[in-house]
Amino acid sequence: MELKTIGSLDVKGKKTLVRVDFNVPLDDEGKVADDSRIKATLPTIKHLLEGDARVILMSHLGRPKGKVVEKLRLDDVARRLGELLGKEVKKADDCIGPEVSRAAEGLKEGDVLLLENLRFHLEEEKNDPGFAKGLASLAEVYINDAFGTAHRAHASTVGVADYLPAYAGLLMEKEIKSLRSILFEPDHPFAAVLGGAKVADKIGVLNNLLNKVDAILLGGGMSNTFLKAKGLELGDSLVDEDHLEFAKKFLIMAKERGVRVELPQDLVITLTGNNEQVKVEESANVPRGWSALDIGPRTADNYSQLIKKAKTAFWNGPMGVFEKEQFAHGSEMVARALSDPGVVSVVGGGDSLAVLKKYGLADQITHASTGGGASLEFLEGKELPGVAVLMKK
């Protein structure tokens, strides 16, 4: 099935209800600390404004669990969006109800209205039909541009499509095209770089990519579990004991299918509880009382060379505790290799994107996905509810 997009949609004068992902980090004062997600959806908003639409935006922010939480209001998001657009963005104090309906009805062509935090209502995450119908009553067309929430069957991502014609925004379209290309039509060699703390988070994508990639490079806390599955002792390092058996079977399956699985040869380790005492040690020689918090320099160099030799690469999950400079080298080397112009690189996950931003590399990646969980589920081969409702039947 084909994705329905806004490319040829006539929106002149129409009230368009757009699901965006403005779930942005806030500082201690409740101000927008990082506007990347707001900027990511600007092409769709500008496209609609150029078409003389009346634009109604809706988003969640944080986890208010169905209650009004003052610091999670979207007022500062509206202010920042207005600055980026160079025009006023009206802000509603709720997302449904008579006052919101009047505000939507009063919009002129080229106006923008941002609704209040969807998750102030429990009905949003429950995909309540009445709540979805209330949102849909505000507009004539529904557009989803929030790939980061497409794996959730919520009222604003799925339910609204029962009541309005539904289309994918430009960001959603770009996300799906980029992920489809590496999943179904990658240029080989294809390397997947997977890190982060938990093996459990990556089981689905590991299993699915095993049929598609030439090499899998493992780092972060999850690589410790695979090292232990090979019989190595990791001192006090994080190990997922519950998934040791999976790691053993996965390594056997990969070998049988001719997929190269790379594990750290050396590690940056620290005296447990004391990040001031840091040294590099062979993966087989992590002593008791020490913990691995990054891949070592030899491993980082090896991974970097393998990525540069690949034609396609996907990365999700840092190689170590990159927030601390002494454990950031592995993640930095991976990020720099992925920015090589000869590699079609797709990066997903908040931490991986944070590494790219830290080293000013975000613009040098082929595609930086705005959806960590959504991109992983897509690459697992799962159908995303928020995407399924945008397909031509």
Catalytic site positions: 37, 198, 350, 373
Please give the angle made by the CA atoms of 324, 327 and 329, to the nearest 5 degrees. Answer: 115
Phi first, then psi: give them for residue 173, nearest 5 degrees. -60, -45
Show the DSSP H helices in 210-296 as ranges: 220-229, 244-256
Query: Cβ of 151: how many Cβ atoms within 10 Å?
Result: 22
Q: Burial, 363: exposed, middle or buried (Cβ in 10 Å; 0-12, 13-18, 19+)? A: exposed
Picking from 334, 380, 341, the residue whose alpha carbon sits closest to that of residue 355 is 334
Radius of gyration of the chain (CA): 23
Please give the angle made by the CA atoms of 108, 120 and 57, to the nearest 5 degrees. Answer: 25
b/e string for 299-318 if b means 16 or more Cβ within 10 A?
bbebbbebbebbebbbbbbb
Q: Burial, 325: exposed, middle or buried (Cβ in 10 Å; 0-12, 13-18, 19+)? A: exposed
Tell me the sheet residues that pair with 294.
268
